């Protein structure tokens, strides 16, 4: 299989994940908070008490994610808290107003390491237009904040790095298979979700999608 064929197949797989984003999101919204300290697939998924499924899906009243023409309801991204290198907590919702790329990674993950230069390149190109949240899936054992910081420093990466020290973000998005990437528009709605490594073409496709969804970019 040549490289061109591999790229085409990767793009097809990525589009399949776009089509399946609704089912993923529905699954997240219908699960409860787990009781585990490790990064492993628990039976349930963490969800903060103030994030609830939309109980008015069957209502005739249009919501903020559904226009007057009755277009399909968008998928609101679930909020979470991670920590910067100084230990300050930040929420996903703090970054609304600009398109967002979330990437869950760890230093022990070879595919995470392989795709890091792709994200660095795109951050240098789109850092003014897109928020990059490179989230280290810290578990305190196989992955620690110290390991993550050392990896970033030695690699010379300049994109923003955050640490999921309490597993809030990983559990919320079921990011048990690393790497996992989520593409969110400026209003906080999920546009694409990709478990597994991204190729440069797939990463560019995700960026194009969230930029196209940003009204400011269309002006």
DSSP string, 139-189: -SSSS-HHHHHHHHHHHT--S-EEE-TTSHHHHHTT--SSSEEEEE-TTSB
Query: What phi and psi, each to the nearest 5 degrees, are found at residue 77?
Result: -70, 135
What is the phi/psi pair of residue 131, to 5°?
-85, 125
What is d(CA 132, CA 113) in angstroms, rounded to the nearest whole number? 16
**Residue 40: inside a domain:** yes
Residue 35 lies in a domain: yes
Percent of the chain with pLDDT over 70: 64
Domain limits for position 45: 3-49+73-218
Asked if the model's pLDDT at residue 58 lies above 80, the reply is no
Sheet holding 89-91, edge to edge: 89-91, 81-83, 161-163, 131-136, 100-105, 180-184, 190-195
Q: What is the mean pLDDT of residues 7-22?
A: 50
> What integer pLDDT is reported at residue 83 of this predicted model?
98
Q: Can you give the pLDDT at residue 213? A: 78
The whole-number pLDDT of residue 6 equals 55
Percent of the chain with pLDDT over 90: 61
Q: Is the dihedral of CA 36, 108, 88, 126 positive or negative?
A: negative
Rounded to an integer, what distance in angstroms lies between the CA atom of residue 116 and that of residue 190?
22
Q: Which residue has the higher pLDDT, 215 or 153?
A: 153
The two tokens of residue 14 are 């990525």
The CATH number for 45's domain is 3.40.30.10
Task: Return the closest-CA partner of residue 189 out of 46, 73, 40.
Answer: 73
Whether 80 is in a domain gets the answer yes
For residue 65, being part of any structural domain is answered with no
User: Which of 89, 198, 190, 183 is closest to 131 using CA atoms?
Assistant: 183
Tokens at 16, concatenated: 């399949």
Does some domain include residue 54? Answer: no
* Number of structural domains the chain divides into: 1
pTM, full prediction: 0.71
Domain annotation covers residue 38: yes
Q: Please check whether residue 68 lies inside any domain of the structure.
A: no
Does residue 197 or residue 27 have the better pLDDT?
197
Q: Work out the pLDDT band at 74, boundaries 50, 70, 90.
A: confident
Residue 10 binned pLDDT confidence (cut-offs 50, 70, 90)? low
Top pLDDT among 15 and 151 is at 151
Look at residue 64 and tell me if it is in a domain.
no
Question: Which tokens belong to 74?
Answer: 């968008």
Q: What is the pLDDT of residues 124-152, one digit of tens each?
A: 999 999 999 999 999 999 999 999 999 99
């Amino acid at each position: 299989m040549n490289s061109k064929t591999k790229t085409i197949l990767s793009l097809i797989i990525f589009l399949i994940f776009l089509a399946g984003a609704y089912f993923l999101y529905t699954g997240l919204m219908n699960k409860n908070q787990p009781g585990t300290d490790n990064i492993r697939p628990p039976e349930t998924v963490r969800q903060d008490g103030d994030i609830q499924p939309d109980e008015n899906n069957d209502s005739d009243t249009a919501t903020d994610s559904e226009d007057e023409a009755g277009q399909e309801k968008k998928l609101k991204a679930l909020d979470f808290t991670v920590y910067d290198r100084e230990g300050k907590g930040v929420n996903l919702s703090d970054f609304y107003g600009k398109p967002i790329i979330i990437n869950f990674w760890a230093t022990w993950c070879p595919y995470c390491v392989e795709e890091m230069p792709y994200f660095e390149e795109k951050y240098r190109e789109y850092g003014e237009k897109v928020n990059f949240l490179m989230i280290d899936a810290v578990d305190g054992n196989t992955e620690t904040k110290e390991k993550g910081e050392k990896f970033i420093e030695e690699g010379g990466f300049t994109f923003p790095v955050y640490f999921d020290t309490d597993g809030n973000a990983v559990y919320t998005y079921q990011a048990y298979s690393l790497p996992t990437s989520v593409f969110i528009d400026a209003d906080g709605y999920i546009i694409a979700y990709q478990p597994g490594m991204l190729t440069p073409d797939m990463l560019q496709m995700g960026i194009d999608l969230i930029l196209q969804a940003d009204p400011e970019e269309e002006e």
